[in-house]
Amino acid sequence: MKIVNTGWQKTYNKLCNLLEKESKVYYSRFGDGDFNIMSGVGGELYHSYSPELQKELIDAFMVDDPNYVKGVMLEEPIFTGGGLGNRGNKNDEQIARNFIDAYFFDKNTVTVDSHVVLTYLAVCHQDKFIDFLNKFIRPKKKLFIGSVEKEKVEKLIGKVDYYVNVPCEIAKGKEGLIGAYYSNHKWWPEVLKYVDDVELVLPSAGMAGRVITKRLWYMEKNLHCIELGSVVDGATGVESRSIWRRNDNINRLKNLLLKEK
């Protein structure tokens, strides 16, 4: 089977075109950890494995619609912190390939979209990223779901009309399992409380973000739902990834923030 990644430029253009023309557009990102859980091979870092999480992630990945854009960490360079480079961990890549081979065995070619597009633009093409924020994020009536404080995230994405907190610490949820997903019995009802009063949802909760995106899609919520990824952390000074500690990126990302009046 051939896997084709459209690349960051085409994914950026695709997202912009969809967000301009369509009222229902979702963008979700699937990385190494997602494929490890979906494949049931372990590699648990931020989320413990459970059959429930595995099923929800697989359901998310299997959505097949042009307005549901899936960023996948295959057949594209990774963002190294200073630019685009080669992937080091071939084992994780093979796990992802095996998963796609198993679930799309009847296809000769599987096309996926860029996983790194927004992270890469946030550091290396900041004018494009700011333009994206100004057109599709900041003016919208929005719901933010994540651990970054409301006042801090508003400096990046503009006014947050509704805020649902997902604890940032790697805490034990139901049955001693680790990860934001396992506390969803606490925060998911809050999402449902606000979602019908917004036009944009911004999940920033790791694998739980994929679950949120999938659930809202199947509930046929007619809105935009975009996973900005760890850009939210970096732009608000949280060094959640090594890429933010490189090349003085934490300071570079301050260029993205709204100027105080």
Residue 172's pLDDT is what? Answer: 54
Residue 178's pLDDT is what? Answer: 79
Total residue length of the chain:
261
- DSSP E strands in the chain: the ranges are 2-5, 25-30, 68-72, 78-79, 84-85, 109-114, 142-146, 162-165, 200-204, 224-226
Provide the mean pLDDT of the chain: 91
pLDDT at 173 over 60: no
pLDDT at 242 over 80: no
DSSP letter for 256, please. G
Residue 19's pLDDT is what? Answer: 98
pLDDT at 30 over 80: yes
Domain boundaries, the chain: 2-256
Residue 168's pLDDT is what? Answer: 58
Give the CA count within 13 Å in the CB-facing half-sphere of 130.
Answer: 14
Cβ proximity of 170 and 46 under 8 Å: yes
Residue 244 binned pLDDT confidence (cut-offs 50, 70, 90): confident
Q: Which residue has the higher pLDDT, 171 or 239?
A: 239
Residue 161's pLDDT is what? Answer: 98
Residue 96's pLDDT is what? Answer: 94
98 sits in which H/E element: helix 90-103
- What is the rounded average pLDDT of the residues 173-194? 85
- What is the rounded average pLDDT of the residues 232-259? 84
Lookup: tokens for 131: 């333009």
Its pTM stands at 0.93
Residue 45's pLDDT is what? Answer: 59
pLDDT digits (tens, 9 = 90+) for 198-237: 999 999 998 999 999 999 999 999 999 999 988 998 888 8
Rounded to 5°, the CA angle 26-134-160 comes to 70
Residue 251's pLDDT is what? Answer: 87
> How far is residue 100 CA from its own chain's centroid?
19
Cβ proximity of 164 and 145 under 8 Å: yes
pLDDT at 256 over 90: yes
Q: Which amino acid is at 221?
A: K
Cβ proximity of 182 and 52 under 8 Å: no
151, 145, 144, 142: which is closest to 166 by C-alpha? 145
Give the integer Cα–Cα distance in Å for 99 and 205: 23
Distances (CA, A) of 96 to 36, 50, 154, 193, 201: 8, 18, 35, 35, 27
251 sits in which H/E element: helix 249-252
pLDDT digits (tens, 9 = 90+) for 34-77: 999 999 986 555 678 899 999 999 999 999 999 999 999 999 99
Lookup: tokens for 56: 């929800």
33, 11, 212, 204: which is closest to 112 by C-alpha? 11
pLDDT digits (tens, 9 = 90+) for 79-108: 888 888 887 667 889 999 999 999 998 899
- What is the rounded average pLDDT of the residues 106-134? 96
Percent of the chain residues past pLDDT 70, beyond the cut: 93
**In sequence order, what DSSP letters do the residues of 18-82 get, joined into one string?**
HHHH-S-EEEEEE-HHHHHHHHT----SSS---HHHHHHHHHHHT---TTEEEEESSSSPEE-SS
Residue 174 binned pLDDT confidence (cut-offs 50, 70, 90): low
Contacts 24+ apart (CB under 8 A), 87-92: 89/32, 92/32, 92/35, 92/36, 92/43
